Structure 1
């Protein structure tokens, strides 16, 4: 069940082949994003899927001409909610009561706690928090893609406002925060040597005894 071998194989692909990722595997990646961990379970983001070639070409221009966006099989746009309010929490608990058949109102105390925690944050802090949750989902997608042998390239180098306008995200109360190109490498392309901080400098076990 370990994902280590898959993570050793993966790297951020800069040039994609013409091979397309089939719908079943795309759906697996999207389900991984949907099932990903999220603070309080609120999931304050959506994942938008782009595969139309003309639209990918336009978005590539808005990503400073990066070829990954133009060449990929699919582009996943992780878009966070721009307004986090009591309604965000209430939508979650409506889902919770429906999906778990828990008596409606039985978790009002917990709901009030979450609302209070959100109210203590500034608007900017709430938006940053929502973006952080989207990044957690991105990490889950990257791992699932590696397990499936699908190449990825997560990217933050794009014009956020231009993406929002082109995709009409703002009218849904969303803003693009990170994107991920999906596809396959050329058949004869090997994974490069993975450069990472040595374990002895990366991990430290901590205890009260020092």
Structure 2
């Protein structure tokens, strides 16, 4: 697998083939890739919602400025953040470390207390921004994995988070939507698939010191 070749193959898909579906095996790869995404401190204050139901997706099109990919794709991935980061989230994270790595409490305690204090000194808007940053890391990771697996995708910021949250009842899960990523397989008539990529030269984009 030539990953550069796959990244050149990838594009923001405008038209999906509605007859083609992402298999459960491929979806499992995306689930694992999301869960393995690097997050600050490893705290994972983001979650992935996978929406397959066309009944659920149909009204979401209007909330995404009529971008039809939301419905025409095989599945819609919704990257969400927690409504807030609580002390219990930090405690649960370090409990998980203790369980998996058998790390002594004497080592974990100061790190746990420092992270609790750090979160408490942040405003709610700062904690939201902190979680949003993690969501973008996950988006990039998912897009790359999609390319490697020959799955088409289209990253979306253009939608009404409040409307999406209400439609999917995310408040009941303590979540807020941050990004959308329809995934599936390109329609062969999508003219954008054949467009050459427009990028700066490597010398313009990369500075070596």
**TM (normalized to structure 1)?**
0.92
Q: CA deviation at 1:37?
A: 0.5
State how far apart, in whole Å, the 2-side matches of 1:106 and 1:191 are: 54
Corresponding residue for 2:135? 134
Please show how residues 1-210 of structure 1 align to structure 2 within 5 Å: 3-18=3-18, 19-104=20-105, 106-187=107-188, 190-206=193-209
Q: CA deviation at 1:104?
A: 4.0
State how far apart, in whole Å, the 2-side matches of 1:186 and 1:160 are: 27
Measured against aligned partners, the alpha-carbon deviations of 1:134-175 in whole angstroms (never above 9, x if no partner) come to 111111110000000000001011111111111111122210
Q: CA deviation at 1:203?
A: 1.2
Aligned length in residues: 206
| CA RMSD in angstroms, aligned pairs only | 1.6
Q: CA deviation at 1:133?
A: 0.5
Gap regions ≥5 residues in structure 2: none
Contact 1:79 1:178 in 2 (8 A): yes
Q: CA deviation at 1:129?
A: 0.6
Measured against aligned partners, the alpha-carbon deviations of 1:65-114 in whole angstroms (never above 9, x if no partner) come to 11110100000000101211322211211111112222345311111122
Larger deviation, residues 80-89 vs 67-76: 80-89
Q: CA deviation at 1:191?
A: 3.9
